[in-house]
Amino acid sequence: MSEHIVSPTVYVIIFAILIVMTATTAAVAFVDLGRFNIVVALVIATFKASLVVLFFMHARYIPGRTQLVIIAGVFWLAIMLSLTLVDYKTRRPESEPAPALSSMTTPAGYFAGS
């Protein structure tokens, strides 16, 4: 079994990209994008994780079955991120007040003892 040798230049380039993307994440955190702040942060994080898996963990150079396991993991990650974003999208904005307790209806006789 022969191992794939990766040039140190590739590692330096990937490392530089990761540093730039980390700085981008920090810079975007100070920009008000409304509800899209979380979307941008998750896209950048997914991109950075993909680079780490592909190059530093050598997933780009491995045989088929291991790649299938990685693809299944990425698919599961996509499911979890989409569920997170759907939950985030359905939340009420902070500026919208919560319903008052007095406006809620209660069954007749619920507070009969008081």
| Span 31-70, pLDDT tens digits | 998 888 888 998 999 899 989 988 888 878 887 788 888 8
pLDDT of residue 103: 54
Farthest CA pair distance, the chain: 81
- pLDDT greater than 60 at residue 78: yes
pLDDT of residue 112: 54
pLDDT mean over 67-94: 84
Band of pLDDT at residue 105, cut at 50, 70 and 90? low
Could you tell me the two tokens for 9? 């230049």
Distance (Å, whole) CA 57 – CA 70 = 11
- pLDDT greater than 90 at residue 9: yes
Distance (Å, whole) CA 114 – CA 107 = 14
Distance (Å, whole) CA 37 – CA 99 = 27
DSSP state of 103: G
Distance (Å, whole) CA 76 – CA 81 = 9
The whole model's pTM is what?
0.62
The residue with greater pLDDT, 1 or 94, is: 94
